[in-house]
């Protein structure tokens, strides 16, 4: 595990470049990356994109597939005892260990560790990442609600637990809020985006990983408003992973986001009235303001996170020099 954050030149300029989605030499993590990129062929890059997508989908499919099988088996056998939850906790722990480089084959251990990018970060970096992520979640919830009142869409199904014991429902929702963040961060901001960052500038890598992340959510409906929000979620977590050089800070933010949507947003989507049918009420404009204000707050929080990462890296490098 590495300590601190990895940020090469000017953190503030790098995160701004990513947020604005514009290429910048400061946004390239590796010093020789730009020269190497100019020598790479288009077919080679397309192959890397495909490979990163395959790895991401394999990780996602394994984690969520196992959880789906365990959950169905649990609800069909002993629904009063949520035994699938502790079993899935064990599966997630073993999966994370393997993806971080544990066990056979040893020749791939270092590659798996670097792809997962589960590097340690300082408490200050973690706190700023949590703040920037929380502000982004509130903004994204606002965008989701506004879009649901502008475009007619079916709500995401959440009533599959009706009729089951409260304990089972609570623990299953809690576990679902762990499975998605852990598997998705490992899959898309870890393996997928790390591969892409070695082929493209950071903004392009974040864009591609976010597009793949959105595509993975097409099961919720092939609807552009939903896919747009999922894409923006991918951008938020992709920027966070690149700036902090770690997938770890995004996991608690992702958990908060899932719990927020599971309990406060999605259950009410079916009752939202289209603006075109009933007019824009006070709550519609409140959610518009929510989206705009919290977006405006999240961007400087990410810039501050980048600066904190830069100072953390300088501190770690200073200690290493002193030790030598």
Instruction: Give me the residue label for tokens 């940020």.
Output: 7
Whole-number pLDDT of residue 163 = 77
The mean predicted confidence, pLDDT, of the chain is 87
In tens, the pLDDT along 57-76 reads 999 999 999 999 999 999 99
Flag the least confident range among 35-44, 82-91, 184-193.
35-44
Question: CA angle 191-192-195, nearest 5°?
Answer: 85
Whole-number pLDDT of residue 317 = 56
pTM for this structure? 0.86
In tens, the pLDDT along 251-299 reads 999 999 999 999 999 999 999 999 999 899 999 999 999 999 999 999 9
Whole-number pLDDT of residue 191 = 98
In tens, the pLDDT along 121-138 reads 999 999 999 999 999 999
Domain boundaries defined on the chain: 11-24+42-317
Residues whose CB is less than 8 angstroms from the CB of residue 48 and which lie 6 or more positions away in sequence, other chains included: 195, 196, 198, 199
Instruction: Give me the residue label for tokens 């961007």.
Output: 299
Whole-number pLDDT of residue 157 = 74
């Amino acid at each position: 595990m590495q300590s601190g954050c990895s940020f090469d030149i000017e953190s503030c300029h790098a995160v701004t470049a990513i947020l604005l989605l514009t290429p910048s030499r400061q946004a390239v993590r590796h010093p020789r990356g730009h020269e190497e990129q100019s020598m790479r062929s288009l077919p080679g890059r397309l192959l890397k994109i495909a490979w990163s997508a395959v790895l991401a989908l394999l990780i996602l499919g394994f984690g969520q597939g196992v959880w789906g099988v365990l959950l169905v088996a649990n609800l069909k056998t002993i629904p009063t005892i949520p035994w699938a939850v502790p079993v899935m906790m064990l599966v997630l722990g073993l999966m994370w260990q393997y993806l971080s480089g544990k066990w056979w084959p040893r020749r791939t251990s270092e590659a798996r560790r670097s792809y997962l990018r589960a590097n340690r970060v300082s408490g200050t970096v973690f706190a700023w990442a949590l703040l920037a992520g929380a502000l982004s979640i509130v903004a994204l919830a606002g965008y989701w609600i506004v879009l649901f009142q502008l475009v007619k869409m079916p709500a995401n199904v959440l009533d599959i637990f009706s009729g089951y014991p409260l304990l089972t429902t609570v623990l299953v929702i809690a576990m679902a809020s762990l499975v998605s963040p852990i598997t998705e961060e490992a899959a898309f901001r870890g393996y997928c985006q790390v591969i892409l960052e070695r082929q493209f500038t950071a903004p392009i890598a974040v864009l591609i990983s976010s597009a793949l992340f959105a595509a993975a959510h097409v099961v919720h409906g092939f609807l552009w408003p939903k896919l747009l929000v999922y894409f923006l979620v991918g951008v938020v977590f992709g920027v966070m992973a690149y700036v902090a050089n770690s997938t770890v800070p995004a996991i608690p933010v992702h958990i908060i986001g899932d719990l927020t949507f599971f309990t406060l947003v999605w259950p009410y989507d079916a009752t939202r009235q289209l603006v075109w049918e009933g007019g824009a009420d006070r709550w519609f404009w409140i959610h518009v303001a929510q989206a705009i204000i919290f977006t405006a707050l999240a961007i400087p929080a990410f810039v501050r996170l980048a600066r904190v990462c830069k100072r953390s890296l300088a501190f770690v490098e200073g200690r290493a020099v002193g030790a030598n």
